[in-house]
Structure 1
Amino acid sequence: MRRFIPLIVGGLLAVAACSSSPQSEQNGTPSSALPSVTVMAPVSPAPAQPASNRQPVRFDPCARIDDAVPTALGFVATTRERSDYVFDDYAFIGCDFTRSETVRGQQLQVGHLTISSTNVTLEEMRARDYEDARPTTVNGKEALFHRTRAAESCYIAMPGPDATIEVRVSSAIAFTDWVACDHIDEAARTVEAALPKEGK
């Protein structure tokens, strides 16, 4: 059975918020309807999506997730990097952040946080043969947990501005005591709280 490809491989200074208005307007969402966010390391716009029976993904986590979200979870906001998967009939538009630690005198990347918006529905994800899949909730909303043990990664998919938001955390346990799957629930709650809400 075909599986949807997840997004894997993966005292404050005052700064000006990075505006994503051009991309927002291109996607059909008026910029005035979107709250401003602080993005210290802006990235390129999301890739084009081919026409299909699905609505295109309009919410771009790389443009619309504030630096405060990865920072609160222990990731470096300035490592913001695109992590997109676009196919003929669906897309994952996402953003990746890294976590670093000093390991034997060297600064190494020991974890990743990936936030992606997709036009794949939660119902479709439930039908897939994900490893260790089980229902869960995030801030009172239904969600789906699954994991990839070989990649030391855990995921939670939940309702989002398009169809679904998927949050992934991973860790290189050979180099760190920080176990990603112990933090997936916190990551999902933090991301969900930062998503735009209907009527706002």
Structure 2
Amino acid sequence: MGRWGIVTFATVAAVVTACSPSAADDAAGDETTTSTTRTPRITDDSGRPPVTFDPCYDIPDDVMNAAGYDAAKKEIADMPMGTYTFLGCAYEGTISVPGVLARYDLLVLAGNVTLDEELKRNGHVAESVQINGRPALVEVDPNARDTCRYVLQTTFGIVGLIRIYHKDHPGAVPQDEWCAGVLDLATTLEPFIQD
């Protein structure tokens, strides 16, 4: 099975295509407001469905700002792979967590691999959940320190939220804190997934 970029944020960083906030905003202003009428920025030759949800354009900036991520600094993070495609958007943010203020990186990826493929690939660290009634996985891999992944099923494939917690204190972040607040974020973003 092919490798896709939900493994770690570091993997994605190697293939990120940066876009200035004004360029992303200008491009979004030129497009229609629903992803179902937008031509996908990237397609592949796999015969898989086109990715119809574009995280940088289909998630409103005010929603991300309210969630603690600076939408003015978002960057396009696409991954054209030939046999599958991921459209991505990278954010930095500082979110208040009870008793602590922490810095996070967040990557939202929409790809045309299936939830079953993701489960086969990461089933050893995945737990099945529902996000607003949508089938999903939560993945906490002890080898991907300080990282939490939520992967939601769509008609074209999956949308993944990958968050890295950058600790601001000495010592390890307890594993049970890696996903603090990510379920709430996934629940907030799920209604914007057009499929």
- The two structures have a TM-score, normalised by structure 2, of 0.71
Q: CA RMSD in A?
A: 3.4
Q: d(CA) in 2 for partners of 1:131 and 1:154?
A: 14
**Equivalent-residue separation in structure 1 for 2:138 and 2:3 (angstroms):** 15
Specify the alignment match of 2:31 in structure 1: 21
Question: CA separation in 2, counterparts of 1:145 and 1:52?
Answer: 27
Structure 1: stretches of 5+ with no match in the other structure: 32-44, 102-108
Q: Per-residue displacement from partner, 1:3-41 (whole Å, max 9, x unpaired)?
A: 43216227xxxx9994242798xx9x436xxxxxxxxxx
TM-score, normalised with respect to structure 1? 0.70
Letter in 1 for 2:132: N
Aligned pair count?
169
Q: CA offset at residue 72 of structure 1?
A: 2.3
Counterpart Cα distance in 2 of 1:127 and 1:92: 18
Asked if the contact 1:96–1:113 (Cα under 8 Å) also holds between the matched residues in 2, the reply is: yes
Give the match for residue 37 of structure 1: none
CA shift at 1:62, angstroms?
0.8
2:150 aligned to which of 156, 167, 171: 156
Name the counterpart of 2:107. Answer: 114
The match for 2:132 is 139
- After TM superposition, list the pairs within 5 Å mapping 1:33-112 onto structure 2: 46=41, 48-100=42-94, 110-112=103-105
In structure 1, distance between residues paired with 2:33 and 2:46: 20
Alignment of 1:187 with 2:185, yes or no, is: yes
* Residue-by-residue CA offset, 1:123-180 (whole Å, 9 max, x unaligned): 1111113552111110122211112443411111112352211112211114598x55
> CA 1:129 to 1:115, structure 2 compared with 1: closer, same or farther past 3 Å?
closer
Give the residue type in structure 2 aligned to 1:30: T
The answer for the alignment partner of 1:126 in structure 2 is 119
Would you say the 8 A contact 2:70–2:92 is kept in 1? yes
The one-letter amino acid paired with 2:152 is: M
How many percent identity over aligned positions? 26
Question: Can you give the 5+ residue segments of structure 2 that lack an aligned partner in the other structure?
Answer: 14-24, 96-101
Alpha-carbon separation, structure 1, partners of 2:179 and 2:194: 26
